[in-house]
Structure 1
């Protein structure tokens, strides 16, 4: 009996470790693939970051259709919602989220284009701050003083990192601007996703399909307005097999991120997912400095640790507050149930 329990614990820990490793691998690989595509080295002066993002939306949409079709063939193996038909009433309700989604993935890729992978974590670290601001402005939810103090630590780490990048001569003002906008859109995307999910019966994959399908059309005028059409035509005429392969891989890994993130939450918890994501970003920074042979000052590394510490502290504080709310709600529910039982007896 004891041996069986130990084996069960071993396989449980092994499963968790494997899922976390898969999440790290997919997420870090996606960042490096996108950096290769957006850094300008793959296609010389053929610079079209919005086209890259648009193409990845097409790949994600195609992946959704593929897995929906495969589910019909092998329902016992694959479980994917039926997608393909766009219902206009649902599309109208989802459209505001899709606009935010387009802004989010555009700013994500543009911030990655103009800043190094090593600084990517710090450059986008104010997402938490925007989350506090928009949660209050849109949902009317206030944040505790403890959580606000953690936000102050994150801001301090961000400014220290910006200062160190500036001293090193590698600071990109555009990278910082796009990083800040990226953080704002990531926060808005999370809030609007929560608001819109009931429209698609809380199906993340259905929402993913609607978002990416509609984003394909929203990106077209943006690509034209930003003057990317000559670069796009050049890419279509001269793009190598390696380049298109990287474009496809980037789209598939972007699609896979939705699955592995949900899987990690499923086998662990939302708190562990946040901690894992923060730790992954730290590991990504270390890998990037090694991969690109970058030498960083001690205070530069300190900024990363300050942001990491502030982010983990914020996650811990919010988790404790949620537990306190749940523990308070349970006795109230119990008292209400008891009162209802007494009323029924009467």
Structure 2
């Protein structure tokens, strides 16, 4: 009786923790998207340098982790931060793949935001499930079941039915639409898987992984800023020396740190698959908020497209969950018989 009650309480606490972390991820992610959109496209700021903004977010995140590490050494009873050395070659080699994916992911996200509305952002996020299936076959050579493939087909049909990609392409710059459609979604599934793997290299310490990842990403962004031609944009920016501008940039950096931290935390307490589906559902809620906030009027066909994509994504999650349960039962069956 006591053991059953203790097990029940343990499961309840586990699920409450998962719900809290997922809710925290949703709130932080939605806030970060709106803050970034304001910096990139609003009439007051209109920075026009998405990769520079991404780099600055990594710089702020790195400094937050660095200050926390110093405070933990000076006041260990108040602050805690895991021991680690970001300059260690072996650590750099193990975390670098994650940092490359992280750089591509947030760079692609902010580039997308500079081209399209927050409401359209959902379309790129929805393609994550499709890219996850493709990458699973290309990299791991693992085939996906017919039911999962049908769910992916419905997702694509739902997106095309709403004609969202074609409409967004008309609003994008000439080079923006192809980048948005094909580059933005694909790092997400790989990043989720690589985060789960990288956590094992830092003893499941989310703080330490965030520190390493952001520090390495600050270096990776520098050549991308130059290649994208943002140096001239930054130098000639009219509000470059305004205090309010840098205050807004620091706020964006804090949001960038928060989303990186809670993303790793959600992947740690759930799974890469759950995180990808959570992100898709979050993007749907984000779309609803964006259409109301920006007074963005959409057609019935567009809303139908979003509903179809959401239902197909949920169906994919359910099918995948049942397949994992079935696979687990098949693996444990011989042991139980023995």
Pairwise TM-score range, normalised by the shorter structure: 0.7 to 0.9
Distance (whole Å) between structure 1 residues aligned to residue 169 and residue 236 of structure 2: 35
* Cα distance, 1:17 vs structure 2: 5.9
1:61 aligned partner: 62
Computing the radius of gyration over CA atoms, which structure comes out larger, 1 or 2? Answer: 1
1:341 aligned partner: none
Question: Secondary structure in 2 aligned to 1:126?
Answer: helix
1:127 aligned partner: 128
Question: Secondary structure in 1 aligned to 2:162?
Answer: helix
1:286-308 CA distance string (max 9 Å, x none):
11011111110000011111111
2:202 aligned partner: 200
2:299 aligned partner: 297
Residue among 230, 235, 252 paired with 1:228: 230
Distance (whole Å) between structure 2 residues aligned to residue 167 and residue 198 of structure 1: 40
Q: Does 1:245 align with 2:247?
A: yes
Assess if the C-alpha contact under 8 Å between 1:165 and 1:300 holds in 2: no
Assess if the C-alpha contact under 8 Å between 2:22 and 2:278 holds in 1: yes
Residue among 314, 322, 325 paired with 1:323: 325
* Cα distance, 1:221 vs structure 2: 1.8
For structure 2, list consecutive stretches of 5 or more residues without a partner in the other structure.
Answer: none
* Cα distance, 1:131 vs structure 2: 0.8
1:139 aligned partner: 140
1:236/1:86 Cα in 2 relative to 1: closer, same or farther (>3 Å)?
farther
Distance (whole Å) between structure 2 residues aligned to residue 111 and residue 313 of structure 1: 27
Q: For 1:1-346, what aligned pairs fall within 5 Å after superposition?
A: 19-39=21-41, 41-44=43-46, 46-73=47-74, 75=76, 78-163=79-164, 166=167, 170=171, 174-175=176-177, 177-235=179-237, 238-261=240-263, 276-335=278-337, 338=338
* Cα distance, 1:176 vs structure 2: 5.5
Distance (whole Å) between structure 2 residues aligned to residue 32 and residue 273 of structure 1: 20
* Cα distance, 1:279 vs structure 2: 3.1
TM-score (ref. length: structure 2): 0.84
Q: Which moved more, 1:272-281 or 1:323-332?
A: 272-281
Assess if the C-alpha contact under 8 Å between 2:151 and 2:316 holds in 1: yes
Distance (whole Å) between structure 1 residues aligned to residue 180 and residue 168 of structure 2: 20
* Cα distance, 1:216 vs structure 2: 1.1
Q: Which moved more, 1:95-104 or 1:168-177?
A: 168-177
Distance (whole Å) between structure 2 residues aligned to residue 319 and residue 68 of structure 1: 39
1:95-139 CA distance string (max 9 Å, x none):
333223221111111111111101111133111111111111111
Distance (whole Å) between structure 2 residues aligned to residue 178 and residue 224 of structure 1: 20
Assess if the C-alpha contact under 8 Å between 2:132 and 2:190 holds in 1: yes
Assess if the C-alpha contact under 8 Å between 1:94 and 1:211 holds in 2: yes
Distance (whole Å) between structure 1 residues aligned to residue 267 and residue 50 of structure 2: 31
Assess if the C-alpha contact under 8 Å between 1:164 and 1:299 holds in 2: no
1:142/1:75 Cα in 2 relative to 1: closer, same or farther (>3 Å)?
farther
1:344 aligned partner: none
Alpha-carbon RMSD: 3.3
For structure 1, list consecutive stretches of 5 or more residues without a partner in the other structure.
Answer: 339-346
Assess if the C-alpha contact under 8 Å between 1:65 and 1:83 holds in 2: no
1:17/1:140 Cα in 2 relative to 1: closer, same or farther (>3 Å)?
closer
Q: Which moved more, 1:171-180 or 1:35-44?
A: 171-180
1:31/1:176 Cα in 2 relative to 1: closer, same or farther (>3 Å)?
farther
Figure out how many residues of one structure are paired with residues of the other and give that number. 330
1:80/1:143 Cα in 2 relative to 1: closer, same or farther (>3 Å)?
farther
TM-score (ref. length: structure 1): 0.82
* Cα distance, 1:41 vs structure 2: 3.1
Assess if the C-alpha contact under 8 Å between 2:57 and 2:253 holds in 1: yes
1:294/1:168 Cα in 2 relative to 1: closer, same or farther (>3 Å)?
farther
